[in-house]
Amino acid sequence: MNTRTRVALVSILNLALVGIAVAGQLSARATGEEIRLRVEPVDPIDPFRGAYVDLSYPGISSRTTKEDGDAYVSLAPRGQVWEATGVDTERPAEGPFLKCHDDGWQLSCGIESLFVPQDRAREIETEVNGGHAVAVVKVDSRGNAALVSVQER
């Protein structure tokens, strides 16, 4: 096998691995249903990662199955926002749900951080602290979720 062929194969393999790593986020953004979730702030600035908003979701982040592994959070509309109705280790048969990772004490659904310009991070922090913000999230049929934005209610 010559050098060009090896380089081509390694490049294709790397592209495939990147595609696999971001497939859930891409699927949610491309085919997901847009929902709004209530949010609470956790930490607005990290000197190493820059300006971002780290979010917690009341009724979601605090739920757990007490087991490590995948967890599924069922969602239902409550007025203008959606709320968690249950968490289980089995995938729900119907309805929108979030596929999360349960580390035994907290759920992580991949929608906990939003990177924004520093001035926008402070603005979002103020909105979230005042209880005037919701997270706009896209959720696909497999529970993959992508945080699109944080908006004022």
Q: What is the predicted pLDDT for the residue at 82? A: 92
For residue 59, give the nearest of 40, 35, 33 by alpha carbon: 40
pLDDT along the chain (153 residues), means of 10: 86 83 73 82 58 77 76 90 89 88 82 79 74 86 88 77
**For the chain, first and last CA: distance in Å?**
60
Which residue's entry shows tokens 């007025």?
79
Distance, CA of 100 to CA of 87 (rounded, Å): 10
Q: Identify the bridge partners of residue 82 per DSSP, sorted by sequence position.
A: 37, 77
Distance, CA of 6 to CA of 19 (rounded, Å): 20
